[in-house]
Structure 1
């Protein structure tokens, strides 16, 4: 049996679609490739049966539900295009959002928030400092940085910033443009209060005797 590349691709698609059908019978949620293969195979079959074009699309749209797929798959399958072999010639069938997302389906990468606002660092003692960037380029400080050890071009009361970090959500930060005063709020660093890395002024416990004085003298040098 000699098969053309197109016929080989059709057999591959059919095999993947059959796996998807087997998984559905066994109650196994479909992956992205399995869902696409099943949709494409059903469109190809309906076209060969000379089902009207609009009905082919309607059938495909009713084929799968969100709960039959792995989480996130319906949102990944937003557009599926198939060159379908109708008896009167090949036609491009385009499926738009063929899998209903459902009310409980989530989108990959989405942020799901609660009904109530989340308080950052509840009960933490806060201090507000004015920072001026005396350098010639922007400086950005991230949420996890020990503020005492930030870029020397930033001018502020460093002793007041000892053992503190920005009062911002994890992963956020503050950008300081040259010459523009910026007020920042700082909270104490929690946990074991051991600072490693940064500018290397501490590299140890923040609350150790003499740690602030040693770091201040080293920074001034």
Structure 2
């Protein structure tokens, strides 16, 4: 496949210019995290994975990342090879913030379903 086509299945068509992802997020809804794959196999994180639920071999500040996902285009992912380290941006979930598997703790440390 030598050429690029902007038509057909899977094509991405956008207007000319700069597109800023998640431009509606305030500064306190954005964080920057350092990720390190301490495992012996690649780890991949999808665009809408609640970060603390990521593979345990991926080392990063899970407490700070609670309620956040990677700031990457929807439907994409980031792959971390064994031993790879990368600094990435994350954004807070929006809306009702009801994500299957997401657990929220209240001041009394009782688990509440998010």
Q: TM-score range by the shorter chain?
A: 0.7 to 0.9
Q: 2:72 aligns to what? A: 168
| 1:64-116 CA distance string (max 9 Å, x none) | xxxxxxxxxxxxxxxxxxxxxxxxxxxxxxxxxxxxxxxxxx83223221122
**Residues 1:116 and 2:17 aligned together:** yes
Count of residues in Structure 1 that have an aligned counterpart in Structure 2? 103
**Residues 1:209 and 2:109 aligned together:** no
Q: 1:192 aligns to what? A: 96
**Per residue, is there more strand in 1 or in 2?**
2
Partner Cα separation in structure 2 for residue 126 and residue 118 of structure 1: 17
**Per residue, is there more helix in 1 or in 2?**
1
| 1:35-54 CA distance string (max 9 Å, x none) | xxxxxxxxxxxxxxxxxxxx
Q: 1:107 aligns to what? A: 7
From the superposition, tell whether residues 211 and 178 of structure 1 become closer, same or farther in structure 2 (CA, over 3 Å). farther
Q: Residue 163 of structure 1 contacts residue 189 of structure 1 at CA under 8 Å; is this kept in 2?
A: yes
SS at match of 1:129: strand
Larger relative contact order, structure 1 or 2 (CA cutoff 8 Å, min sep 6): 2
Partner Cα separation in structure 2 for residue 190 and residue 157 of structure 1: 21
Q: Give 1 or 2 for the bigger CA radius of gyration.
A: 1
| TM-score normalised by the chain length of structure 2 | 0.78
SS at match of 1:121: coil
From the superposition, tell whether residues 210 and 137 of structure 1 become closer, same or farther in structure 2 (CA, over 3 Å). farther
From the superposition, tell whether residues 180 and 187 of structure 1 become closer, same or farther in structure 2 (CA, over 3 Å). same
From the superposition, tell whether residues 182 and 152 of structure 1 become closer, same or farther in structure 2 (CA, over 3 Å). same
Partner Cα separation in structure 1 for residue 53 and residue 15 of structure 2: 35
Kindly report which structure 2 residues correspond to 1:102-181, keeping only aligned pairs within 5 A, or say none.
Answer: 107-109=7-9, 110-124=11-25, 125-181=29-85
